[in-house]
Amino acid sequence: MDKPIADALLDFYQKILKPELDFIKEKLVEHDQRFSEMLGHFDAIYRRLERLEDELLMVNNRLNRIEEAVNAGSAKHSDLEKRVKDLKAQIDLLQTRLEIVERHLETSS
């Protein structure tokens, strides 16, 4: 290559291309920093979401246990209602028998 052409290309590189490439490199570094910051924010958000998801799972598990306890309590409650009905039936039967005995005593006197 001729010296004047090489000097012209070197001058073009130093005056035009190098400043543009340096500017682009600076912008890339700046964008990389901002991107790293954004990733840090996303990581923090994901950690919070995971914590919320864990808490939601715990709440759902507790609700399921409460529902099971209520359902088990309902079964006990219905069992108690059945027992109360049976007791009422027995009391009615005893009341009827008592009335029969009282009538029998009245007629025999």
Tell me the pLDDT tens digit for each residue of 37-72. Answer: 999 988 989 888 888 888 988 888 888 887 887 777
Angle formed at CA 21 by CA 15 and CA 22, multiple of 5 degrees: 90
Residue 11: its pLDDT value, please? 93
Distance CA 93, CA 89 (A): 6
pLDDT band with cut points at 50, 70 and 90 for residue 17? very high
For residues 4-14, give the mean pLDDT. Answer: 92
pLDDT above 90 covers what percent of the chain? Answer: 33
| Mean residue pLDDT across the chain | 87
pTM of the prediction?
0.48
